A and B are shown apart, each in its own frame.
Chain A
Amino acid sequence: MNLKIKIKNLTLKNPVMTASGTFGYGEENAEFFDLSLLGAVVVKGLSIKPSMGNPPPRIWETPCGMLNSIGLQNIGIEAFNRDKLPWLRQFDTRIIANFYGNEISEFVEAARALEGVDALEMNVSCPNKQAGWIAFGTDPLMLSKVVGAVRKVTELPLIVKLSPNVTDITVLAKSAVDAGADALSLINTLTAMAIDIETRRPRLSNIIGGLSGPAIKPIAIRMVYQVHKAVNVPLIGMGGIMNGNDAVEFLLAGAGGVAVGTANFIDPVASVKVLDGIIDYMRRKNISDINDIIGGVMV
């Protein structure tokens, strides 16, 4: 059975990754399973300087999902390269660094500083910060500029993680690919809000957060399906994947790989179970190559 997938010149042994921000830098979940089982570990969003993140409360549960406003808390790229990356390298898996910046120059600097990983995933979409950089992922021109600038300084496979908070995601997808993206990740969280009706206060200190989990899966599937028809690069699908069947749905919609996010919070071993579920499906359907089902939805 072939489970291998490719992102530019990078081969992943299987299509299952972790979604950035739901797996830390891998250490916590490594207490539960061998990270070498995964196709790739995508680490928490990194920035040049360490970032403190938002005040609590940062999470609120919603029906079949959750809101978060972590605010991209991270240890900074220098500390990542020094303290986390060497440790992650003991595992036979690909290490993908998710990163962000508040200006184009910060994206560029971050990409340069992250040359020790296997691939880069640009977060141009996280809805948590109030500052202007939200526009990167929602405006085709801004997106094209920042992707183009990062493309110039890195040879690594460059994945652009799209924001779902747009009217037509295919416009942004094309813009990122034209500017040099080797692959696209979708979707990031949907901006969302909840209010405590007793106190009339927002549930999150940041007021607005990002919705993730099974609640967003049908939206993510729809977006993967649309983007798959619009561009010709590998897609990494995510949004509410809880098991192998969910992952197969993404593959059929057009994703070449999948990332498991919120499910890691419910079960630290969820990503491995998703992989097992994909394999079960392939056996059951007599499919020998994972690439045979990518985009295989029959319409």
Chain B
Amino acid sequence: MNRSFISVVITNQPLAVSGYFTLTVSVDSNMPIPMPGQFCMIKIPYSLDPILGRPLCVFDFEQGLMTFLVRIMGRGTALLSKLTAGDKVSILGPLGNGFPIVKNSQLPIIVVGGMGIASLYMFIKKYGASALFYGAKTASELIFLDDIKKNCDNLFISTDDGSAGVKGGILDSLERYIAAINSNRLIYCCGPHGMYKAMAERFDRTGLDITVSLEERMACGIGGCLGCVTKTNSNTYSRVCKEGPVFKLNSISFG
């Protein structure tokens, strides 16, 4: 099954909050349909510097178009931000394992920290969530909040500076919510690594079924280089690109 394509940039849209943009590209008809949480390796074709593709989650996939939500981190993402309509990009994907699809009656609680929305937006849009916890540093970084509101009415917002929702971290609200309900045990989460560590500590013995999406530096994205590993609880290394990027929280070692 081929997953290596050349796509054409359709739009490249800076967001209101600086340093973020959405990149929408054409999709080859042979490309398998990406599952929520899967990613692609994106690269400017033939360039030797930067030489490696950049892993980006499939943010949205609709009507022959695929969109990535990108935050400018360094040279690779800065170059992608300068692409204009008609430019070519090479796309390798969809790659990795996404978030498991569940029955409507068992929708997960979704927890998103900042850029984590890139990984879970498609899931929320397609399936919704039994409750959605969305946290960011400040109100302007609650990206696509209006769209998300349309897909989930049980929404809990928090910001570090209190500019929107509850002031403070998202996990406090989550903990209160979980204490109040005892039916739903399924949580899907994407956020910074520190948030996972805090979750692992807080919810260690709660019996929650927590699934998270990890990030590691990647070279190949397909499992061939062993560059992207994360330590597991059985003291082995798993490839984030191949066994992940979605893992059970309790299978990851934070030691």
Contact = CB atoms under 8 A, between A and B. Distances in A.
A61 B220 CA distance: 12
Interface stretch (B141-149, B161-169, B176-184, B229-237): B229-237
Nearest to A203: B217
A226 interface: no
Contact of A60 (B4, B217, B237): B217
Indicate the size class of the contact surface on chain B: 20 to 34
A245 to B, nearest CB: 13
A110 B134 CA distance: 53
Interface stretch (A22-30, A101-109, A289-297): A22-30
Given A56-B230, A64-B48, A264 B53 contact: no
Contact of B237 (A73, A267, A269): A73
A186 B194 CA distance: 42
B52 A61 contact: yes
Interface string A1-40: 0000000000000000000011110011101100000000
A28 B223 contact: yes
Contact of A265 (B219, B229, B230, B236): B219
Interface string B46-82: 0011111100000000000000000000001000000
B219 to A, nearest CB: 4
Contacts of B43: 266
Interface in B133-171: none
Interface string A248-285: 00000000000000101111110000000000000000
A180 interface: no
A55 B231 CA distance: 8
For the complex, would chain A's binding face be called helix, strand, loop or mixed by DSSP majority?
loop
B51 A21 contact: no
Contacts of B51: 61, 64-66, 213-214, 262, 266
B216 interface: yes
A28 B228 contact: no
A66 B3 CA distance: 23
B224 A265 contact: yes
A66 B220 CA distance: 12
A214 B52 CA distance: 12
Contact of B217 (A29, A52, A59): A59
Interface residues of A, number: 36
B224 A264 contact: yes
A73 B226 contact: yes
A202 interface: no
A57 interface: yes
B2 interface: yes
A58 interface: yes
A252 to B, nearest CB: 21
B225 A70 contact: yes
Given A57-B216, A57-B217, A268-B92, A23 B224 contact: yes
Contact of A242 (B48, B49, B218): B48
A88 to B, nearest CB: 14
A68 interface: yes
A202 to B, nearest CB: 13
A63 interface: yes
Contact of A59 (B50, B219, B236): B219
Contacts of A27: 223
A265 B220 contact: yes
A53 interface: yes
B49 A63 contact: yes
B227 interface: yes
Interface string A209-236: 0000110000000000000000000000
Interface in A50-88: 52-53, 55-61, 63-66, 68, 70, 73
18 contacts: A22-B220, A28-B220, A28-B223, A28-B224, A29-B222, A32-B3, A53-B237, A55-B231, A56-B229, A56-B230, A64-B48, A65-B51, A70-B226, A70-B227, A73-B226, A265-B52, A265-B221, A268-B4
Interface of A: 21-24, 27-29, 31-32, 44, 52-53, 55-61, 63-66, 68, 70, 73, 213-214, 242, 262, 264-269
Given A59-B228, A268-B220, 16 more contacts: A24-B226, A28-B223, A29-B222, A29-B224, A32-B3, A52-B236, A53-B226, A56-B230, A58-B228, A63-B49, A70-B226, A265-B220, A265-B225, A266-B52, A267-B90, A267-B92
Interface of B: 1-4, 43, 48-53, 76, 90, 92, 216-231, 235-237, 242
